[in-house]
Copies of this chain bind each other. A is one copy, B any other.
């Protein structure tokens, strides 16, 4: 049933679970590739299926502006529009509109902002952001939240927590409780008492899942780790926990260890477009390195993806040096494979009682 979250095995806070959506089951821990504009850059849905990327992210702010609600509804929803039949999670656009800074005005009812594309004026409210995501037919809609940059004053963080709770309540009231699930987003900056307050107020709404927001926005990795660990423990054990905007191999492993189930990040595709390849041991290297030119092995000998089975590092390095966009596609493909394999192996390690050894090996080898 939609929203079911069944835990199969645990290792400390880490757990292997299955999360049910209207477009199928998602094994967690899970890494979700980012498809902001209704595509994961340079990859097709067929690629994503091959990569075992079970659920993808898209973004309310960007899709609201282009192609817009009418086109997406006329297309038959976001799944049909982007030709992806697996689950989709959309971010609420909160993070994006708050990033607009001079182009937006916040009031207690919502946010008025100008499009970064053409300067046109738009307004987000908790109600219309939830309705938009439901109209698109996505599997998981995120509540509209206020995300503050770090560092911020205690007063600003307090205000964001209060507003995020009030808006989450309005999102929950507006939510149609159909096939689209609604997740809450915990804010609270780096203050444990504010994180505790935000968590408690959102958990009271009994939503199908909860995200930890407001991290990976300027703080140190140690601070992020402390707050994510603290907050994850306050979220219900019987619902998925999602750490937004994270991350690298190191961050994924640390997150899984704290009991996080879902992750998203542009990291593998953005790195790929910049010629940086990831290995299964979490090491990142640039294919521009001189050593790649005559290396006729794959991007990562430990990888079982189609790109590693087909192409050599020398070939991809040649394409990248030559400015051929195909290189960006091939490295992006492999990098997503690196993270979807990582979470697959993490699930197996949790099942097999090997989680701690698996975690420690990766934390020892992964790039900082």
Is the Cβ of B67 less than 8 Å from the Cβ of A293? yes
Is the Cβ of B326 less than 8 Å from the Cβ of A81? no
Q: Is A30 an interface residue (CB 8 A)?
A: no
Q: Which residues of B contact A293 (CB under 8 A)?
A: 67, 71
Is the Cβ of B83 less than 8 Å from the Cβ of A41? no
Is the Cβ of B312 less than 8 Å from the Cβ of A39? no
* CB under 8 Å from chain B, chain A span 129-183: none
Q: Which residues of B contact A43 (CB under 8 A)?
A: 326
Q: Which residues of B contact A204 (CB under 8 A)?
A: none
Interface residues of A toward B: which range? 35 or more
Q: How far is the CA of A83 from the CA of B309 in the complex (A)?
A: 10
Q: Which residues of B contact A328 (CB under 8 A)?
A: 325
Q: How far is the CA of A74 from the CA of B318 in the complex (A)?
A: 14
Q: How far is the CA of A156 from the CA of B343 in the complex (A)?
A: 66
Q: Is A315 an interface residue (CB 8 A)?
A: yes
Residue of B nearest to A321 (CB): B66
Is the Cβ of A81 less than 8 Å from the Cβ of B315? yes
Is the Cβ of A83 less than 8 Å from the Cβ of B39? no
Distance to closest chain B CB from A342 (angstroms): 24
Instruction: Please tell me which one of the listed residues B41, B83, B294, B322 contacts residue A315 in the complex, with CB atoms under 8 A apart.
Output: B83
Q: Is A106 an interface residue (CB 8 A)?
A: no
Residue of B nearest to A318 (CB): B67
Q: How far is the CA of A322 from the CA of B318 in the complex (A)?
A: 28
Q: Which residues of B contact A41 (CB under 8 A)?
A: 324-326
Q: Is A329 an interface residue (CB 8 A)?
A: yes
Q: How far is the CA of A325 from the CA of B44 in the complex (A)?
A: 11
Q: Is A194 an interface residue (CB 8 A)?
A: no
Q: Which residues of B contact A83 (CB under 8 A)?
A: 310-311, 315
Q: Which residues of B contact A75 (CB under 8 A)?
A: 296, 312, 314-315
Q: Is A319 an interface residue (CB 8 A)?
A: yes
In the assembled complex, 11 residue pairs joining A and B whose CB atoms fall closer than 8 Å, in A order, are: A37-B319, A37-B322, A42-B325, A44-B330, A45-B310, A46-B310, A66-B318, A67-B318, A75-B314, A75-B315, A81-B315
